[in-house]
Amino acid sequence: MKKVTMGSQTLIYPMPVTLVGANVNDKPNFMTVASCSSANVEPPMISLAIRHNHYTLKGIRDKLTFSVNLPSYDLVKETDYCGITSGSKVNKVEVCQFKVFYGKLSNAPLIEQCPINLECKVIHILDLGSHSLVVGRIEETYVSEDCLTDGKPDVNKVKPIAYIRIPTAQYQCLGEVIGKAYIIGKELELKK
Amino acid sequence: MKKVTMGSQTLIYPMPVTLVGANVNDKPNFMTVASCSSANVEPPMISLAIRHNHYTLKGIRDKLTFSVNLPSYDLVKETDYCGITSGSKVNKVEVCQFKVFYGKLSNAPLIEQCPINLECKVIHILDLGSHSLVVGRIEETYVSEDCLTDGKPDVNKVKPIAYIRIPTAQYQCLGEVIGKAYIIGKELELKK
């Protein structure tokens, strides 16, 4: 198979689309982040890359707390809006009509309309060049009751948004299930 | 909307499924990682969370280089296999019939069958508890020529795998496009 070189780029997908929240100058603000990942399991931690000059980062650095909210498809416009505007200029909560609530932490604003909400405390901030890599410990997880099936979050009800950067920056739904993890690979184990 | 608390967990999806490669004891080995994300843009960097005791991590720590390979749907069995077995016990390259090639770095094995391959040099390793958060600078990107459209990687040809951990650990395809990023949110801007 012929390979073509494409220089140095972070070509990886799909990425989860999140709305990261913080209180900045005592007001809740949210920004769209699609560079969010699990960073540790015991205890549960998350990492996010945020460009240094972002308004939300100011609040995260100031209070050392933040939230990660997972929007559903039906919030795709609001989600995109929070990525193309700055809280230094507009009140995103007002424009998007977000209902904000707080949990355990006093400075991690959570969006009621998002089916999943994580409250986080900052553990590390790594300065990597253009971005700060923020690592946070998850203090509590909130799930909208109508997104549960048998008491567990149901991805078909949560309807998370996948972000694709190349060739066109776009949001996609999830499609067909192609295999059970930790099971489908056993077929190869038998062939050994 | 009623919220239910779920304790502390990294409930976020979809995550991209990758095969992370390293030379361990002078042989190429690959492990499945679904905690991989962009970490910086200028210069391009990537982060991955790997449990401390993983065999591949030994090679990454030893040589300070690694690869990130993006498998397509048709490699879902091989991808899962690399997540449920250890290179300390089996030769995954042989079982999965991976064709391995090298680019700029002598210790970052790349999988020819994967449509996208990144070669990385380690910049930081953060010990977070159960996992090491590895941050690498991307030195080069390779794309299979048959996954390009007009010279750009085409997500419909790359066919990346999305990982869902809850409620059932499974792999999913991407579905319908629900909006253009940096455009669809402008509708709200006008409503302001």
- ipTM for the predicted complex: 0.95
Give me the mean pLDDT over the A61-78 stretch: 97
- Find which of A20, A51, A80 to mutate to test the B interface (most B CBs within 10 Å of its CB): A80
Counting residues of chain A whose pLDDT is more than 90, the rounded percentage is: 96
Q: What amino acid is encoded at B65 in this protein?
A: T
Strand (E) or helix (H) holding B16: strand B15-16
Cβ neighbours of A154 in B, within 8 Å: 167
pLDDT at B180 over 90: yes
Residue B130 CA, distance from chain mean position = 19
pLDDT at B1: 74
SS3 B9: coil
- Cβ burial of A127 (10 Å; 0-12, 13-18, 19+) is exposed
Least confident of A30-34, A110-114, B165-169: B165-169
**Mutation site for A-interface testing, chosen from B2, B37, B121, B122 by largest number of A Cβ within 10 Å:** B37
DSSP 3-state assignment of B153? strand
Q: Full-prediction pTM beyond 0.80?
A: yes
Instruction: Provide the chain A residues 56-95 that lie in CB contact (below 8 A) with chain B.
Output: 68, 70, 73, 76-85, 90, 95
Q: What is the pLDDT of residues A137-157, one digit of tens each?
A: 999 999 999 999 999 999 999
Asked whether the predicted pLDDT for residue A190 surpasses 80, the reply is no
For residue B4, give the nearest of A14, A113, A143 by CB distance: A143
Rounded CA separation B130/A18 (Å)? 24
pLDDT tens per residue across span B27-51: 999 999 999 999 999 999 999 999 9
**Nearest-CA distance from B15 to chain A in Å?**
6
Angle at B120 between CA B151 and CA A39, to 5 degrees: 110
What pLDDT, on a 0 to 100 scale, did the predictor assign at position B190?
Answer: 73
Q: Minimal Cα–Cα distance from B128 to chain A, Å?
A: 6
B114-153 pLDDT, tens digit per residue, is: 999 999 999 999 999 999 999 999 999 999 999 999 999 9
CA distances from B122 to B23, B58, B103 (A): 14, 13, 16
Contact A3 B117 (CB under 8 A): yes
CB atoms within 10 A of CB B159: 19
What is the rounded average pLDDT of the residues A5-24? Answer: 96
- What pLDDT is recorded for position A170? 97
Predicted confidence (pLDDT) per residue in B80-94, tens digit = 999 999 999 999 999
Work out the minimum CA distance from B26 to partner chain A, whole angstroms.
22
- pLDDT tens-digit readout, A31-51: 999 999 999 999 999 999 999
Q: Are residues B169 and A150, on separate chains, in Cβ contact within 8 Å?
A: no
Please confirm whether the linkage preceding A167 is cis (ω < 30° from 0).
Answer: yes
Q: Residue holding tokens 């090491």? A: B132
pLDDT band, very low/low/confident/very high, at B192 (cuts 50, 70, 90): low
Terminal Cα-to-Cα distance of chain A (whole angstroms): 25
Q: Omega into A28 within 30° of 0, i.e. cis?
A: no
